[in-house]
Structure 1
């Protein structure tokens, strides 16, 4: 009977332990006690409903306790809806507390919207209290006298809470400041004017309202460094002169090629004419032989012709020896 009485008791105790373990794992009793001790009333039914909605109760209750201790009126429904939307509840509550301490008007809906937009709302609040310095890369521009000037600026910005959702980021600020630097240097008549008054760049850029449409408010623009670069004007003139030189050389080469072609054409024509003369001279003996055969020319006529050719060659040789530049002793050949 003893064994029959102890076994049901052990079974009942085991079942009770299992049920209690399941209940404690499903119902966050310790979290409910912690909230109750902190003066935040969260009912057990609400915690169980969070479990059923697949919401981690600790990620809702802990930020709620923090907010209530800071004096913020936030409900569990607001935190739970933001959690279900994929937001960082703890980050939003920390940002609200920081904004309240810094006397920055920021409501829960605005903070939740900024967090869901992908921006760090706590960092934005901190940047509103402690402005951030953005350093631009080296920006090169050319003044009107052709001298290149390189400048680097430091932009002090403060986060604009109202424009964090949909406002442009730091890249836009850097691009706009660089554009302003290029415009200011390019409109200067001399590069020395920029070197003498670098604050002229910051004043001109600051007056352009470059923070419009961005998530920041520009407080100041300071020129950190100004250097002189290359003489772009002289380099452009040198490049232009080199290009003109190459064009002139190309045209001269074209004229030379045309002259060479013309000369070769003339030489070819002269050679052709000489070939025709040689061919004609080769026909003379044949014609004389034909004339002798046919009786159109006698032997004495042939000898007289040869004597005439010899006399002509002798006279030309005499004229050449006497210094007559117009005679050529080789013309009879």
Structure 2
């Protein structure tokens, strides 16, 4: 009996607690003339939600003219969606006559998109800087005459709400714009054509309709915000090539010089060898003469005269 009484008291205290923490939301509902039962508010609390926030969102939607059930808002909150962002976006879309209802905005929100920013950028087109402010500088391009130009472009775009799911974002737009600008300047015969007529870049970007294809943006306008002559790339490349040719020529000259020195040393070695042969021959020559004399092949002048006289007498 004591246990039952204790449980009854605990249940009563729990009910009183639930009433006290939810009575504010219920009073807010009734003061706005909205038909929402107290049980729904209590169940929202039991599901781990914040009834005060859900009630505020529900009241805002109904007063804005959006026909919706409280349970639908509760379901979006249970799915992890940002209820307040969806409510703000729904009200903005309704006031701006945008064909985008609460259900579609819930899908975009659950897909991870910033629905408030998307609706705002549809109503008020935004400007995309190329390159972005996070990457200061210019899009570096090169014309056919070798002059490098730094170009900055501003794109005014509007969000395409129906392409938010699966559509590429700002980074893709920046990359494509840079690609188109590089192509347009690269096709120019002279950098002066671009300097004198920047509109060729605008016309090229507007003509290339696929620049924003696959993104969740539609193009409103294109503006060339800056053009700067950087340097003469062709002259730099020619200078680098000349320096490279010079180094190659110097290398060849050094190789030829080294080869000539090697041949000079080789000839010196041959000369030393020949001198050695001469010295060797001089050493052997006396012995050869002596041997010749001993063999009768060679002799002195007197012996030669005597021999000649003997030959003559024999002949007579």
Q: Do both share a fold (TM > 0.5)? A: yes
Corresponding residue of 2:89: 95
What does the per-residue CA deviation read over 1:92-119, in whole Å, with 9 as the maximum and x for residues that have no partner? 0110001111111111121011111222
After superposition, the Cα gap between the structure-2 partners of 1:130 and 1:23, relative to the gap in structure 1 and judged at 3 Å, is closer
2:106 matched to which residue of 1? 112
Q: CA deviation at 1:19?
A: 5.6
Cα distance in 1 for residues equivalent to 2:14 and 2:110: 40
Deviation at 1:281, TM superposition (A): 0.8
What residue is the counterpart of 1:84 in the other structure?
78
What are the residue-to-residue correspondences of 1:186-265 with 2, within 5 Å? 186-209=186-209, 210-265=211-266
2:156 counterpart residue number: 156
C-alpha deviations, 1:211-241, integer Å up to 9, x for none? 1111111111100111112111122222222
- Deviation for aligned residue 1:298: 8.8
How many residue pairs match? The answer is 290
Give the Å deviation of 1:56: 2.1
> Structure 1 residue 54 and structure 2 residue 61: aligned?
no
RCO higher in 1 or 2 (8 Å CA, sep ≥ 6)?
Answer: 2
Question: Structure 1 residues 60 and 301, CA, compared in 2 at 3 Å: closer, same or farther?
Answer: farther
2:212 counterpart SS class = coil
Aligned to 1:22: 17
- 2:289–2:298 Cα contact (<8 Å) kept: no
CA deviation profile, 1:20-63 (whole Å, cap 9, x unmatched)? 642435x6122112112112221122122223322222221110
For structure 2, the residue ranges without an aligned partner over 5 or more in a row are 1-8, 132-137, 305-316
The structure number with the bigger radius of gyration is: 1
Structure 1 residues 192 and 33, CA, compared in 2 at 3 Å: closer, same or farther? same
**C-alpha separation in 2, matches of 1:16 and 1:143:** 82
TM-score (norm 2): 0.84
Contact conserved, 2:18 with 2:42, CA < 8 A, in 1?
Answer: no
Q: Compute the displacement of 1:17 (Å).
A: 9.2
1-side partners of 2:51 and 2:198: how far apart?
A: 58
CA–CA separation in structure 1 for the residues paired with 2:269 and 2:71: 106
Q: What 5-or-longer segments of structure 1 have no aligned partner? A: 1-13, 305-333
- What's the offset of the Cα at 1:252? 2.2
Deviation at 1:285, TM superposition (A): 3.0
Aligned match of 1:64? 58
Which residues of 2 match residues 25-40 of structure 1 at below 5 A?
25=20, 28-40=22-34
Residue of structure 2 equivalent to 1:317? none
The verdict on how the C-alpha distance between 1:249 and 1:99 changes in structure 2, with shifts beyond 3 A counting, is same
1:283-311 Cα offsets, whole Å, 9 max, x none, are: 2234445667x576899569x9xxxxxxx
